[in-house]
């Protein structure tokens, strides 16, 4: 053994040949492997997708070469340099090889620096603020995204004013509407825990970070520009998912990016009808409530057969009007319902936990709800039951009275035009 200890290892020509063969096999293998990558990845639906995918290919190729090379050398060693039968002796001991050590330090260091610079470049490029974002009809529109367990809400601060002087805000629920070529800039806020807004086809993913609500939370941003995808029919839909485990409803926290072919299709099929609906709400509060309740994120936690909701994080709303009057002694059905919407802590149904998102007049987030909207939603919920506990005949009196009792707020029941616009969250 002693004579081995001071032996200086030499790199035999055979080893160099074997290494070269493995490098070649690795390169061929990785090329073959990456030919499957386009099948695995979603369509490149944003201007940012290309650079992200190129970075991904580079990472897969370099990682693949390293993987095949090391595994190959390992396999070769195991097969060709294994101990002979009956040989119980130790192998030779080597002490250092300055050249080898320098080489295997410099090459990986170079690769890591190269990847860092490349990644940083792609990151800077794709997150850089752009001019003329969210352009609609020649003007910038602010788009806010609110994340709450377990739903996304998108709101468009249109900048247009309704007849009562309030800004018209479109609430498009879990859908982001955009068009090819529109520079999208989203401001993301969470109401509770960390969520992550991920639109794989757009190659964007961004965490939503909780912060002090009194100072408006801690907004983060996402920027991307939808591009045309070959053979796609427009409007096209691409998924949005939550990529941060946020609770038992995490898997349901989904949405859609709807991409229109151009701005005029966007205006005709989404924007203008949405504004028209806000300016011309149905006179019947029950019908208004039915529309409104679907703009909020109630469906992400509740079951309600009339609207096809099937979630079970919160109690079912089927037949809610039949139970509302008996839940809390001394509380009318109307009071119970308005309290449950604005102050869900007031009564938590046994078997459930208090985790409902906050709705109310003073919220600065996407779940802001005016007293008039609460009135309409309560009127709708009062119809959900066989023998409603609500005073349906006198809803124009009973519900506003309940809101006044519960929150000390007066409801303007004569509102008609433009009142749904009071979701203004600015
Ligand atoms: Cu939100 Cu997971």
In angstroms, what is the span from residue 359 Cα to ligand 1's centroid? 19
| pLDDT in the model for residue 386 | 87
For residue 29 the two structure tokens come to 């293998």
Is there an atom of ligand 1 within 6 Å of 297 CB? no
| pLDDT in the model for residue 426 | 37
- Output the CA–CA distances (angstroms, integers) from residue 125 to 52, 128, 202, 220, in the order listed: 10, 6, 14, 17
Is there an atom of ligand 1 within 6 Å of 323 CB? no
| pLDDT in the model for residue 15 | 72
In angstroms, what is the span from residue 295 Cα to ligand 1's centroid? 19
| pLDDT in the model for residue 216 | 65
Is there an atom of ligand 1 within 6 Å of 250 CB? yes
For residue 305 the two structure tokens come to 């057969």
Atom of ligand 1 nearest to the CA of 147: 1
| pLDDT in the model for residue 141 | 94
| pLDDT in the model for residue 36 | 67
In angstroms, what is the span from residue 199 Cα to ligand 1's centroid? 13
In angstroms, what is the span from residue 356 Cα to ligand 1's centroid? 14
Atom of ligand 1 nearest to the CA of 195: 1
**How many whole angstroms separate alpha carbon 41 and alpha carbon 388?**
51
Is there an atom of ligand 1 within 6 Å of 253 CB? yes
For residue 174 the two structure tokens come to 């879990």
Is there an atom of ligand 1 within 6 Å of 242 CB? yes
| pLDDT in the model for residue 415 | 64
* pLDDT digit string (tens) for the chain, length 426 residues: 444 444 555 667 777 787 788 778 777 777 776 676 666 788 999 999 999 998 988 888 888 888 888 888 898 888 888 888 888 888 788 888 889 899 989 999 999 999 999 999 999 999 999 989 999 999 999 999 988 888 888 989 988 888 777 788 888 888 999 999 999 999 999 888 899 999 999 999 999 999 876 666 789 999 999 999 999 999 999 999 999 999 888 998 899 999 999 999 999 999 999 999 888 888 888 988 988 888 787 887 888 888 877 777 889 999 999 988 888 888 889 999 998 998 888 888 888 888 787 788 765 556 778 888 899 999 999 999 888 898 888 888 889 998 998 888 888 877 654 444 344 433
Residue nearest to atom 1 of ligand 1 (CA): 195
Peptide bond into 150 cis (omega under 30): yes
| pLDDT in the model for residue 123 | 94
| pLDDT in the model for residue 179 | 96
What's the pTM value of the predicted model, to 2 decimals? 0.74
Is there an atom of ligand 1 within 6 Å of 195 CB? yes
Strands 142-148 and 184-190: parallel
Atom of ligand 1 nearest to the CA of 247: 2
Is there an atom of ligand 1 within 6 Å of 403 CB? no
Residue 102 CB coordination number (10 Å): 10
């Amino acid at each position: 053994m002693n004579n081995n200890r001071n032996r200086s290892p030499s790199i035999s020509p055979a080893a160099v040949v074997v290494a070269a063969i493995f490098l070649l096999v690795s390169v061929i293998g990785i090329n073959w492997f990456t030919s499957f990558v386009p099948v695995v990845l979603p369509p490149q639906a944003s201007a940012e997708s290309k650079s992200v995918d190129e970075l991904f290919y580079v990472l897969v190729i370099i990682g693949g070469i390293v993987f095949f090379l090391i595994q190959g050398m390992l396999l070769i060693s195991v097969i060709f340099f294994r101990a002979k039968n009956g040989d119980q002796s130790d192998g030779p001991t080597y002490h250092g090889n300055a050249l080898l050590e320098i080489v295997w330090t410099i090459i990986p260091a170079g690769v890591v620096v190269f990847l860092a610079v490349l990644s940083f470049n792609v990151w800077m490029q794709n997150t850089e603020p752009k001019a003329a974002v969210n352009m609609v009809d020649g003007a910038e529109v602010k788009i806010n995204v609110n994340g709450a367990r377990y739903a996304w809400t998108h709101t468009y601060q249109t900048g247009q004013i309704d007849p009562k002087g309030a800004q018209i805000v479109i609430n498009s629920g879990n859908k982001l509407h955009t068009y090819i070529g529109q520079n999208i800039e989203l401001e993301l806020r969470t109401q509770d825990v960390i969520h992550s807004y991920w639109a794989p086809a757009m190659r964007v993913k961004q965490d939503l970070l909780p912060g002090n609500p009194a100072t408006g939370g801690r907004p983060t941003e996402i920027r991307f520009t939808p591009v045309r995808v070959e053979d796609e029919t427009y409007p096209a839909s691409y998924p949005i998912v939550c990529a941060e485990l946020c609770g038992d409803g995490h898997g349901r926290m989904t949405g859609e990016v709807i991409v229109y072919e151009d701005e005029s299709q966007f205006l005709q099929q989404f924007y203008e009808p949405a504004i028209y609906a806000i300016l011309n709400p149905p006179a019947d509060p029950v019908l208004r409530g039915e529309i409104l309740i679907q703009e909020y994120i109630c469906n992400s936690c509740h079951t309600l057969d009339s609207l096809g909701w099937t979630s079970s994080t919160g109690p079912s709303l089927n037949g809610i009007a039949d139970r509302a009057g008996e839940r809390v002694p001394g509380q009318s059905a109307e009071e119970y319902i308005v309290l449950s919407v604005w102050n869900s802590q007031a009564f938590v149904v046994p078997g459930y936990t208090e985790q409902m998102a906050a709705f109310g007049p003073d919220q600065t987030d996407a779940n802001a709800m005016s007293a008039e909207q609460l009135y309409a939603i309560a009127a709708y919920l009062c119809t959900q039951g066989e023998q409603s506990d609500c005073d349906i005949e006198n809803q124009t009196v009973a519900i506003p009275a309940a809101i006044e009792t519960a929150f000390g707020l007066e409801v303007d029941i004569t509102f008609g035009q433009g009142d749904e616009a009071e979701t203004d969250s600015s």
